[in-house]
Homo-oligomer: A and B are copies of this chain.
Amino acid sequence: MEHLATKPGKTPSIRRLPVYLRFLKELRKQNENVVSCTRIAEELGQLSVQVRKDISLTCATGRPRIGYDINELIDAIEDFLGWNTKTNAVLVGAGSLGSAILGYEGFVEHGLDVLAAFDTDKRKIGTQIHHCRVESLDNLLEFSKTNNIQIGILTVPASAAQDVCNLVLKTGVQGIWNFTPVRLEVPEHIIREDVQLSASFAVLSNRLMKQKIEHRERQK
């Protein structure tokens, strides 16, 4: 079951754009004005043709043999990612993962505005985490009536994930950013993006194991 707005073929390109953006902003700090795909590719260890393809998703236009105006390219990428407009979010689950996300460098720069965090733990309710107030989960629906929430960020334990997701969907969010290991069921029109730490560890540990085996083979 694919979600409506999902275009899997473009996803790897979209995932690379923030890396380019970071690099372009560093160049701008160094008062550079123009950059070529070849330069981006070399500095970031990518193929030039891949960089060109990724950037072609945006409406940036480069000039042959000169390259892109850095300010224009930054704007084009941010427009494409929707990072030039504010995105209102709530976060549910004010534990250490929730705190990490609330304190993550750069999200504010990407237009993400976490209006409030919600939890069921009375010791957390009323406290502040990185300038974000922790409210009782009981108040979430009331809160959503006076605040236009677009994204629900889920950092609750696995056992609570689907129930909390169902509650968050009632607020009228369009997207769920899921940090739990659970494969959440959401209606088709809802955009769900999963951050699966287990998937990342799987890639790492599988490669480690392969390297160990190759090493053992070479020693034979």
Which chain A residues numbered 66 to 82 have a C-beta less than 8 Å away from chain B?
80-82
Q: Is the CB of A61 closer than 8 A to any CB of chain B?
A: no
A111 CB contacts on chain B under 8 angstroms: 205
Q: How far is the CA of A45 from the CA of B185 in the complex (A)?
A: 10
Asked if A207 and B5 make an inter-chain contact with CB atoms under 8 angstroms apart, the answer reads yes
CA distance A96 to B93 in the complex (A): 13
Closest to A111 in B: B205
Q: Whole-angstrom distance between the alpha carbons of A99 and B97 in the complex?
A: 8
Whether, in the assembled complex, A210 has its beta carbon less than 8 Å from a beta carbon of chain B, the answer is yes
Find out whether the CB atom of B197 lies under 8 angstroms from the CB atom of A104.
Answer: yes
Digitize A147-158: 1 where CB-to-B-CB distance is under 8 Å, 0 elsewhere.
000110000011
Bound-state CA distance A199–B110 (Å) is 11
- Chain B min CB distance to A171 (Å): 15
Nearest B-chain residue to A176, judged by Cβ: B204
Distance in angstroms from A199 CB to nearest chain B CB is 4
Partner of A201, one of B22, B85, B107: B107
Judge whether B202 and A112 touch: CB under 8 Å: no
Instruction: For A80, give the chain B residue with the smallest CB separation.
Output: B206
Stretch in contact with the other chain, from A9-17, A31-39, A118-126, A133-141: A9-17
For residue A192, which residue of chain B has the nearest CB? B204
Assess the A195–B200 pair: CB atoms within 8 A: yes
CB contacts (< 8 Å) of A208 on chain B: these are 5, 82, 87, 150-151, 174-175, 191
CB interface residues, A 83-110, toward B, < 8 Å: 83, 85, 87, 95-97, 99-101, 103-107, 110
